[in-house]
Chain A
């Protein structure tokens, strides 16, 4: 366990500057976009709901760009052991269990994504305060929606994906996160160990994740029960488990060297 913790700490120190930069971007840029979306609001403009302002100002795209940048940086930390100093050999010759190498990289990626989610939530709250103060500044505040942040979180499909309030939603979001994380690492390991046919399983995972995401973006138009998400969550959990098991097997064989 101590070896795992030391590896964890070392991996995080390589991530530290990147994730702080991404969190700052995730907080500052949507605030600026929201400000420029509402700065011309006056008594005669049509006041939109907060979640519509948030979507149309492009702040959702900022979150997706930060997520993609975090994924690219994760791949870079994996491939950095093959370029330059070839530190993969050092990794494989460390007196630690091979699982610790796998899990330390994975855990650091998950922790950094959690930090990104936290930054995103802070940015939504600050953005709401900004929009609310702008809307209340004209017309004696009669245009402000009571309890608007709560209503935005339960009505908007995007907010319901990053902060679901039902058990099936939470389970589904966690499974999607886990699948993204494990499939990225698995793809890199398959490519490094030249086992290219296993990449097709990643294709299946991508299809299922996309179907779940497209269903959750239009949830109110389907007449289903909450348990509709359970089969896809279970399949995603099984696929993530397979990715984890096969990745550890590849590392243990030394096939990635």
Chain B
């Protein structure tokens, strides 16, 4: 006991270092203890044997990428060095679509449609560009109901379903019904600065 007391400072130092190191490695090792497994609910697993399903589950602080291949699940968890604000993947308003982290908002109206692209700065969406599409379509109401004499339009779907992207380019087409006459097309959107309208688009192809 006397020998221990004579060197108590070294014992205290090693005890403190051991505790801190053991705790931090055990907690860091827990990053691989998240539960990811494939459970068969209905049907046979061989049906998806050739398909590779991959994705990631993340919040602002870490992400777990998983890969399901021939029935086996492989996961890989990594911590972010810098915590980020976890933005939701779904835009919160109708008329808006999130593509590649930029939100595109289509205003509803007329034969001229305006698409506003907004980027996220801190926690707000700041408009970064506008594009307008002028479609030579006419809406002819074919219903014979005389009470419907307002100037409303109908579409087959919400307007933002007409937005799509290939790589970096964004395209728009109008989801029309059979009541339309004229030319519809797939337009490539060219965005300009916020103020000042530019004339539109690319070619109207099918």
Contact = CB atoms under 8 A, between A and B. Distances in A.
Nearest to A104: B9
Contact of B15 (A9, A12, A118, A147): A118
Given A12-B8, A16-B8, A163-B23, A220 B60 contact: yes
A224 B86 CA distance: 14
B28 interface: yes
Interface in A106-139: 108, 111-112, 114-115, 117-119, 121-122, 125
Given A12-B8, A155-B61, A166 B19 contact: no
Interface in B21-39: 23-24, 27-28, 30-31, 33-35
A149 B30 contact: yes
Contacts of B85: 220-221, 223
Nearest to B34: A147
Nearest to B62: A154
Interface residues of A, number: 38
A30 to B, nearest CB: 15
A150 B12 contact: no
Nearest to B9: A12
A126 B192 CA distance: 58
Given A114-B17, A118-B15, A150-B30, A9 B6 contact: yes
Contacts of A93: none
Contacts of B148: none
Given A9-B8, A114-B20, A220 B27 contact: no
Contacts of A108: 9
Interface of A is mostly: helix
Contacts of A153: 27
Contact of B16 (A16, A117, A168, A226): A117
Given A115-B16, A146-B35, A149-B30, A154 B23 contact: no
Nearest to A224: B82
Contacts of B123: 221
A13 interface: yes
Among B62, B81, B82, residue most surrounded by chain A Cβ atoms (within 10 Å) = B82
B27 A163 contact: yes
Interface string B131-158: 0000000000000000000000000000
A114 B61 contact: no
A52 to B, nearest CB: 15
B145 to A, nearest CB: 52
A247 B17 CA distance: 27
Contacts of A200: none
Given A146-B35, A226-B81, A13 B8 contact: yes
Interface string A146-185: 1101100111000010010111100000000000000000
Interface of A: 8-9, 11-13, 16, 19, 108, 111-112, 114-115, 117-119, 121-122, 125, 146-147, 149-150, 153-155, 160, 163, 165-168, 219-221, 223-226
